[in-house]
């Protein structure tokens, strides 16, 4: 306390001895100096370089703290971001390795985002493959035995092949060779994006390793689920000389899942007529008796918006009835009556859904989904007869009519079913697809 008093006393003595007013004439002279100084300052050219150099070299405590903060940030970058980059590399490596060693792979290939132009693909080691194209062609191949069967569902015909040509046909379509031989390191990390609550990391693969199998390959981007370290989807851009760039997408990738071995059965379905490979092309252009009998006239019109509850599905379309029953049961449990006929929307066997129209604002829980189908220009036709009968032939005739009228499909095929179950004479199917005027 006495030290403090002594300090205060000393400070007071200094203060008292220095607290004097500046004489007016002195103050005037000093102010004159200040005015001159101000003028010089205001005319001083900016010297940003000197400021920058000084800012880097001067070390007051605050700047030391700032530098310390910068060092901490750098350390954080070192500890978090760089490992994050390294982690991203590991995520890719894990996904690529899984694909290289896959015992089975299933996915869909979508061309130019046009859903009906898609391919469902299944692979099972060591060499079984199956392609199911949305345009009615199915290829089943056993590369170990060098055999394959090409099924033309619309024509109800098939071609059985063996020998060298087997590999050629399947490889040109399925992309599996590329997935089974992915490079161990990606070219570069594209970044991250969220999809359905999952964190996806994108990788652009080097063209050098894939370009040989993709003439005109522009980019091959694989997106991997950072959580499961499994490939989620692949976006491919191809720019062949003289042609516009087109996009291919590998979606719904499932690795090492249970694959139905009957998909690879090389036995032709009952009722299919065998043709030779040489005559296949010629026959493909001919109409079958069935198609002669089935001529559909699509109507082009604008559809109304439609509120629906859908159950997302994957796998065989044969599950349609079961899916509709499940939706109907769910609607009943929430005290809701369907507002219209059941419907199905078919992008591919890996991604389709079925459900019922419902009032607007209906709230449902997963896995069910409420959706409002927007108004659109659609091609539509109603076919009387049993539901699902000759579906491929119906769709072939329907799409033929669409194209003949100068339109091209741009949406997913949709069917609505009316009538009573078990009474085929009451049953009818409304087929529709969003279209746009062909150029």
51 binds other proteins (CB under 8 A): yes
SS3 396: helix
Longest dimension (CA), the chain: 121
d(CA 118, CA 392): 15
Q: Is the peptide bond before 367 cis (omega within 30 degrees of 0)?
A: yes
SS3 152: strand
361 binds other proteins (CB under 8 A): no
Of 41 and 270, CB closest to other proteins: 41
Q: What b/e sequence results for 381-401 when a residue is b if at least 16 CB atoms lie within 10 Å of its CB, and e otherwise?
A: bebeeebbebbbbbbbbbbbb
Q: Select from 48-56, 90-98, 134-142, 284-292 the region that touches other proteins (CB under 8 A).
A: 48-56
Report, in Å, the least distance between residue 69 CB and other proteins: 14
Which alpha helices (H) appear in 44-175, and where do they start and end?
48-57, 61-76, 82-100, 165-174
4 binds other proteins (CB under 8 A): no
Three-point CA angle 166, 171, 174, nearest 5°: 125
Q: Select from 50-58, 108-116, 139-147, 210-218 the region that touches other proteins (CB under 8 A).
A: 50-58
Asked if residue 56 lies in contact with residue 66, where contact means CB atoms within 8 angstroms, the answer is no
Total interface residues for other proteins by CB under 8 A? 42
68 binds other proteins (CB under 8 A): no
67 binds other proteins (CB under 8 A): no
> In this structure, what token pair is assigned to residue 21?
């007013």
1 binds other proteins (CB under 8 A): no
Asked if residue 327 lies in contact with residue 356, where contact means CB atoms within 8 angstroms, the answer is yes
69 binds other proteins (CB under 8 A): no
19 binds other proteins (CB under 8 A): yes
363 binds other proteins (CB under 8 A): no
d(CA 229, CA 209): 22
Of 26 and 424, CB closest to other proteins: 26
Q: Which residue has the tokens 């760089």?
A: 82
Q: Which residue has the tokens 């079961």?
A: 322
Q: Site for other proteins (CB under 8 A): which residue of 50, 164, 243, 302?
A: 50
Report, in Å, the least distance between residue 213 CB and other proteins: 59
Q: Specify which residues 131 forms β-bridges with.
A: 121, 139
Q: Site for other proteins (CB under 8 A): which residue of 1, 4, 25, 270?
A: 25
24 binds other proteins (CB under 8 A): no
Asked if residue 235 lies in contact with residue 112, where contact means CB atoms within 8 angstroms, the answer is no
d(CA 41, CA 33): 12
Q: Site for other proteins (CB under 8 A): which residue of 4, 15, 292, 420?
A: 15
13 binds other proteins (CB under 8 A): yes
Of 35 and 334, CB closest to other proteins: 35
Q: Site for other proteins (CB under 8 A): which residue of 1, 4, 60, 197?
A: 60
- Contacts to other proteins from residues 201-230, by CB under 8 A: none
- Which residues make up the interface to other proteins (CB under 8 A)? 2, 6-7, 9-11, 13-15, 17-20, 22-23, 25-27, 29-31, 33-34, 37-38, 40-44, 46-47, 50-51, 54-55, 58-63
């Amino acid at each position: 306390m006495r030290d403090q008093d002594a300090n205060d006393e000393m400070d007071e003595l200094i203060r008292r001895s220095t607290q004097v007013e500046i004489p007016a004439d002195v103050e005037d002279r000093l102010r004159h100096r200040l005015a001159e100084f101000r003028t010089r300052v205001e005319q001083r050219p900016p010297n940003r370089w000197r400021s920058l150099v000084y800012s880097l070299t001067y070390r007051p405590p605050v700047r030391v703290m700032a530098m310390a903060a910068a060092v901490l940030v750098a350390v954080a970058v070192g500890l978090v971001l760089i490992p994050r980059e390294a982690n991203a590399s590991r995520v890719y490596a894990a996904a690529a390795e899984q694909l290289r060693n896959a015992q089975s792979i299933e996915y869909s290939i979508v061309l130019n985002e046009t859903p009906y132009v898609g391919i469902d693909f299944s692979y099972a080691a060591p060499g079984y493959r199956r392609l199911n194209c949305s345009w009615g062609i199915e290829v089943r191949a056993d590369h170990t035995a060098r055999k394959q069967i090409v099924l033309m569902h619309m024509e109800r015909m098939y071609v059985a092949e063996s020998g060298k040509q087997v590999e050629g046909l399947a490889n040109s379509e399925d992309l599996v060779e590329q997935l089974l031989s992915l490079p161990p390191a990606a070219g570069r990390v594209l970044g991250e994006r969220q999809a359905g609550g999952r964190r996806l990391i994108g990788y652009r693969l080097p063209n050098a390793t894939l370009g040989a199998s993709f003439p005109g390959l522009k980019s091959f981007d694989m997106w991997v689920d950072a959580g499961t370290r499994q490939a989620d989807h692949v976006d491919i851009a191809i720019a062949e000389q003289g042609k516009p760039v087109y996009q291919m997408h590998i979606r719904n990738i499932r690795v090492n899942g249970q694959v139905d071995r009957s998909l690879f059965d090389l036995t032709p379905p009952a009722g299919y007529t065998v043709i030779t490979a040489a005559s296949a092309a010629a026959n493909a252009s001919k109409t079958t008796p069935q198609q002669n009998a089935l001529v559909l006239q699509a109507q082009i019109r604008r559809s109304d918006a439609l509120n629906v509850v859908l159950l997302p599905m994957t796998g065989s379309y044969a599950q349609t009835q079961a899916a509709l029953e499940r939706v109907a049961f769910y609607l009943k449990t929430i005290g809701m009556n369907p507002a219209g006929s059941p419907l199905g929307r078919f992008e591919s066997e890996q991604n389709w859904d079925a459900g019922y129209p419902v009032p607007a604002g209906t709230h449902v829980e997963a896995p069910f989904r409420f959706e409002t189908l927007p108004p659109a220009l659609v091609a539509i036709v109603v076919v009387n007869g049993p539901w699902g009968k000759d579906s491929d032939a119906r769709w072939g005739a329907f799409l033929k009519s669409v194209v003949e009228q100068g339109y091209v499909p741009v949406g997913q095929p949709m069917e609505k079913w009316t009538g009573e179950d078990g009474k085929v004479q009451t049953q009818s199917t409304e087929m529709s697809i969003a279209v746009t005027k062909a150029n």
